[in-house]
Structure 1
Amino acid sequence: MIVEIPGRESFEIKNVVFDYNGTVAIDGKLIEGISESINELSNSFNFYVITADTYGTVKKELQNTKCEVIVIPNSQQDISKLDFVKELGLQYTLSVGNGRNDKLMLKETVLGIAILQDEGLCTQTLLNSDILVKSIFDVFAFLKDSNRLIATLRN
């Protein structure tokens, strides 16, 4: 997806990186409709879910979902997430998260989206994001219709 925003350089989104708990899952359980939403858009984007897997459920919950699951160590999670998106290419990656360990990832990718759902949102992460949304499904709406991104980000 190429996004051309008036007053800003255009950018291309190839990769979408989601945090797991608080973003696509609540208390280790995948939010209903996430697999279907990812699978529907999997021909247009490469999807990744990156997590320390606090509840030990990520692989089971995402087994029928067209995404790659990356489990990171419990220490220095913010650095692990940042290193991962750097490997993908910051200029082609949209990232989504809510926790303190997502703040660097959201700051450095071409588009960082903070999400405020049941788990809450770390203020530092919010300040490092480009957009705040109230639901993970708002992110999928952006991916389906870039005009929503344009309306939110234009000068």
Structure 2
Amino acid sequence: MFLNIPNREKIKISNVILDFNGTIAVDGKLIGGVANKINNLSAIINFVVVTADTYGTVEQELAGVDCKIINLSKSKEFKSKLDVLNFLGKEQTICVGNGFNDRIVLKESVLGISILQEEGLSLEALIASDFVCKSIIDVFSCIENPYRIKATLRD
């Protein structure tokens, strides 16, 4: 997927890092429609869910969903979301989150998207983001139709 935003370099997006709780799940339960969106879009973009898995439900909730799960509370390879972002490549990765612990990857990624849903949005995550969506489904809609991103971020 390519993003061509006026007055910026053309960006090739290969990956999307998604936070789990508060972003694609509420209270440990996957938000309706998320599995279908990821499965449909995974043909063009790589989805990586990075979480500490507060509720212990990530594996169960994402069974059958075409994404990689990195559980930071169990990972020997990665200690933080920033480690994952650096491994994937900042210049080709979108990050989506809502929490205080997402602020660094939202700022460091080529495109940081924060969302305000039922679990709230950390002020630090908001400030670190390039833009905000009102739901995770809206984020997927922006990936499906990149002109929405272009319209939001153009000079």
Question: Is the TM value for this pair above 0.5?
Answer: yes
Q: Which residue of 2 aligns with 1:111?
A: 111
How big is the shift at 1:7? 1.3
Measure the CA separation in 2 of the matches of 1:94 and 1:52. Answer: 19
**Match of 1:132?**
132
Superposed displacement of residue 101, structure 1: 0.5
| Structure 2 residue identity aligned to 1:26 | V
Query: TM-score w.r.t. structure 1 length?
Result: 0.95
Aligned residue identity for 2:50: I
The amino acid across from 1:61 in the alignment is E
Within 2, Cα distance between the matches of 1:148 and 1:19?
22
Deviation at 1:73, TM superposition (A): 2.7
Report 1:27-66 matches (<5 A).
27-66=27-66
TM-score (norm: length of structure 2): 0.95
Aligned residues: percent identity?
52
Report how far residue 88 of structure 1 moved: 0.2
Measured in 1, the distance between the counterparts of 2:117 and 2:99 equals 11
Give the unaligned 5+ runs of structure 1: none
Structure 2 unaligned residues grouped into runs of 5+: none
Q: CA deviation at 1:124?
A: 0.6
Give the residue type in structure 2 aligned to 1:58: V
Number of residues of Structure 1 aligned to a counterpart in Structure 2: 151
- Separation in 1, partners of 2:137, 2:130: 17
Q: Secondary structure at the match of 1:8?
A: coil
DSSP-derived class of the 2:117 partner = coil
Q: CA RMSD in A?
A: 1.1
Mapping of residues 4-153 of structure 1, within 5 Å: 4-73=4-73, 80-153=80-153
Q: Report the 3-state secondary structure (helix = DSSP H, G, I; strand = E; otherwise coil) of the residue aligned with 1:69.
A: strand
How far the C-alpha of 1:9 sits from its partner, in A, is 1.5
8 Å CA contact 2:53–2:73 kept in 1: the answer is no
Runs of 4+ that moved beyond 4 A: none
